Structure 1
Amino acid sequence: MIPVLDAVEIILGAVKPLPPEKVSILEADGRVLAEDIAAPRDLPPHDNSAMDGYAVRHADLAPGVVLEVLEEIPAGTDPTRGLGPGQAAKIMTGAPIPAGADTVVPVEDTRPLDGRVEIVSVPKAGANIRPRGEDVREGELVLPRGTRVRPAEVGMMASLGRAFVLVHQRPRVAVLATGDEIVDLDSPAQGSKIINSNSYGVAAQVAEAGGVPVVLGIGRDDPDGLLEMFERARTCDAVITTGGVSMGDYDFVRPVLAKAGVAVQFWKVAMKPGKPVVFGLRGASPVFGLPGNPVSAMVAFEQFVRPALRKMQGHARLFRPVVEAVLGDEAGPVKTKAGRMDFVRCRVERRGTGFRVVSVKKQGSGILSTLVEANGLMVIPSDSTGATPGDRVRVQIYDEGFLDQTEPGIGP
């Protein structure tokens, strides 16, 4: 049995980013760039007006001065004439500045006359002009490889004229639940049978982490049948099984892994919930054997599988955010055993400039409703036996929705 952080180190040392693929910039949202993106030209490509108004020579200006209007320059239209002394051009936002002009007077600071314009208020020299290359210069590295694409990056790539970009592939992840006791959603759960929640909960975690889940169904407690299902997973980049990794007479996953060509790197981690975790490699593809209890499977996924899938996609930030919070007294003290790291389901909330946390009352590894109730995992280190109200504890946030607000929050 190995410590949690040792297990994480082994996993991340074994997985590598997947090769790149070319996708449209809209498809790239949320993905990681696998190429550098430089500016092919200056942006903006020319000096342009920041406002609707009149392009002028600042040397000509004084309150009440009247200038001759040579032309009107809409956005997207090039000027046809340069300005001489006593001349102006009516100009729209984004339109190129004509030669000779060095300032734009906003339209509200002018009075239009027949073919002329009167300047009512004089701005400072150079006002209301966006210079060429103000955003980016030609040849400038704008988005380096490894950048996670957000809507801002999508807009930036569009402004650079890129319709398609290289990003790291999303891993295809086979998800396999095991056990004669489970039935799928469209089968009646009679007697001692239970519905297969693990495949769907874990598949949703895969998708949330950026992967592409491939749900293989249910593998029965039969070595030959399990081996056949492992063979079906060969086209995937990673494999996740749930159940069958403990020491029972019908826990066949570990021996089947060896027959499937999986080199097991470790089995059992000093943690609760989620101790019976298996990790191995089939070639370069990671294989994760998670516990069968739903909570154990999903907590183990958060600690081990999610960081691996994110690394395979080229991410640099692999882990959930961890905050320090004050333990509230509603649920009383948290009691654990030394020698293992505990992940206690809890609810964390913002209090002023900090956070407050309360553990949920039920902590059984089969009580899936507690993960619905919780939004974080209180981390009790292996050298501790728990925490008491008022203690400051670390909380791994798996649902950041509590940071959203019902009110704008930007007023006085």
Structure 2
Amino acid sequence: MLSVDEAIAAIMDGAAPLGAEKTGLSEIVDRIAAEDVKARMTQPPFPASAMDGYAVRFVDMKETAVLTVIGEAPAGAPFDGKVGEGEAVRIFTGGAVPAGADHVVIQEDVTREGERITVNEDQEQPRNIRAAGIDFKKGDMLAEKGARLHEIHSALFAAANIAEICVYRRPKVAVFSNGDELKEPGSELKPGEIINSNHYALCAMIRKWGGEAIYLGCASDSEDAIRDYFKRGAETDIIIPVGGASVGDYDFVKSAFAKEGGETKFSKVAVRPGKPVWCGRIGETRVIGLPGNPASAIVTAALFVQPLVRRLAGEDWSAPFWTAALAAPVSANGGREAYMRAQEKDGVITLAPNQDSSLLFPFGTANALLRRLAHAPALEAGDKVEFVRLR
């Protein structure tokens, strides 16, 4: 039985970012840049007015000064000329500041009569002009290769006159459930049946990590049915069967995997919850089998599926451990590394009162997994512990 670190190392063996592809700006959020992204233009490309007013020479700015308006410069239609002594150009926010002007006097500070303006307020210094390139300049680095792109990147790249970005391909992750007792939400349940719920969380987590989650459905408790689901996922990068990996009479996932030509890397991990988690390959497709109990499935997905999905999606990522103070004592841990549902707030971490592996309800408020190493001693309130963030 492998340790958590050994299992992660086995899963990550040979894992590398998938090929790159071009995508439009509306599709880049949470993607990983496959190349450096540099500005194709300077922004703003010209000195621009920050206010509505008049472009003038600051040397002419004396209170009661009278200037002649020689034209206007709305945004997108620059004034074709130069501002000279005693002259002004009507300008609007975003408009290109004409040659000769080094100041914009705001419209509230002047009185206009026909083609003349009178300055009513003292102008202390040149202002209200945004210099060319004040945001960024052509050739500036906007995002480095390997960066996870977010919402503002799409606007930033657009402003730099970039329409497409080269990003790493999202790994395709096929998920299927297993069990005759599982029914979809909204079903009328017969005695012994339960709702099939794990895949909703797992697929959402996979998408958040940068993968393309494909839910294949729920396989019945037969070897042939499960083999068919492995076949359906054959063109994906990762297959995640959920459940059916224990040693019961109706657990056929591993035997179906073997008959499909699967090669097992490991079959158990010294972790609680989630001991039955396993890993292998069918050809080039990686397979990580998760336990069926909700807590076991979600915890092992966070520990073992997450780093693989993120790596294939192009992210150089490993689980960051944070520290917090215990809100209450915890007892000594046993021989398996444990990850306990908890809520961390303001540097204090509180365990969910019931850590049973069948429970989903604690995840409603849990935002962390408190880590307890194998054979860790008992701790008191206030002692520092490590945790992994769930959100």
Say which SS state the counterpart of residue 296 (structure 1) adopts. Answer: helix
Is 1:371 the counterpart of 2:367 in the alignment?
A: no
Tell me which amino acid in the other structure corresponds to 1:344.
M
1:304 corresponds in structure 2 to 304
**Distance in 2, Cα, partners of 1:124 & 1:373:** 56
Q: Partner residue of 1:114? A: 114
Instruction: Compute the displacement of 1:125 (Å).
Output: 5.1
Q: SS at 1:385's partner residue?
A: coil
Matches within 5 A, 1:48-63: 48-63=48-63
Deviation at 1:343, TM superposition (A): 0.8
* RMSD of aligned alpha carbons: 2.3
Q: How far has the Cα of 1:196 moved from its partner?
A: 2.3
Pair 1:356 & 2:348 matched? yes
| 2:324 paired residue number | 325
Among 396, 402, 405, which residue is 2:388 paired with? 396
Q: Is the 8 A contact 1:380 1:386 kept in 2?
A: no
By how many angstroms is 1:117 displaced? 1.7
- 1:149 Cα deviation (Å)? 1.9
Rounded Cα–Cα distance in structure 2 between residues aligned with 1:385 and 1:271: 17
Query: Deviations for 1:82-141, whole angstroms, at most 9, x for unmatched residues?
Result: 122221212111111111112222223323233222223444554222122222222333
**Corresponding position: 1:5 with 2:5:** yes
Corresponding residue for 1:239? 239
Classify the secondary structure of the residue corresponding to 2:154. Answer: helix
Any idea what SS the aligned residue of 1:7 has? helix
SS in structure 1 opposite 2:71?
A: strand
Instruction: Write the distance in 2 (CA, Å) between the matches of 1:100 and 1:204.
Output: 57
Which amino acid is the alignment partner of residue 362 of structure 1?
Answer: N
Letter of the 1:324 partner, please give it: T
| Matched residue, 1:134 | 134
- In 1, Cα distance between equivalents of 2:78 and 2:274: 67
Query: After the TM superposition, which parts of structure 1 deviate over 6 Å for at least 4 consecutive aligned residues?
Result: none
Indicate if the aligned counterparts of 1:38 and 1:141 stay in contact, CA closer than 8 A.
yes
| Residue in 2 that maps onto 1:193 | 193
Amino acid at match of 1:335: S
Q: Secondary structure at the match of 1:235?
A: coil
- What residue is the counterpart of 2:174 in the other structure? 174
Cα distance in 2, alignment partners of residues 67 and 167 from structure 1: 54
Distance 1:42 1:124, change over 3 A: farther
Q: Which residue of 2 aligns with 1:290?
A: 290
Q: Measure how far apart 1:4 and its partner are.
A: 1.1
Q: 2:337 aligns with which of 337, 341, 364?
A: 341
Are the counterparts in 2 of residues 67 and 116 from structure 1 also a CA contact under 8 Å?
Answer: yes
1:75–1:240 distance in 2 versus 1, CA, 3 Å: same
Give the secondary structure class of the aligned counterpart of 2:233. Answer: helix
Alignment identity in percent? Answer: 36
Q: What secondary structure, in the 3-state scheme, does the structure 2 residue paired with 1:234 have? A: coil
Partners of 2:333 and 2:373 within 8 A in 1: no
Which residue in the other structure is 1:44 paired with?
A: 44
Moved more, 248-257 or 153-162: 248-257
Q: Could you tell me the TM-score, scaled by structure 2's length?
A: 0.91
> Is the CA contact 1:184–1:218 (under 8 Å) kept in the aligned structure 2?
no
Shift of 1:373: 4.2
Secondary structure of the residue aligned to 2:54 is strand
Residue 336 of structure 1 contacts residue 342 of structure 1 at CA under 8 Å; is this kept in 2? no
Distance 2:90 2:9 in 1: 64
Q: Tell me: CA distance 1:94–1:285, structure 2 relative to 1, closer, same or farther (3 Å).
A: same
Q: Is the 8 A contact 2:57 2:85 kept in 1?
A: yes
Q: How many residues align?
A: 391
Please identify, of 377-386 and 290-299, the stretch whose mean Cα deviation from structure 2 is larger: 377-386
Pair 1:385-2:381 in alignment: no
**SS of residue paired to 1:239:** strand
Structure 1 alignment gaps of length 5 or more: 400-412
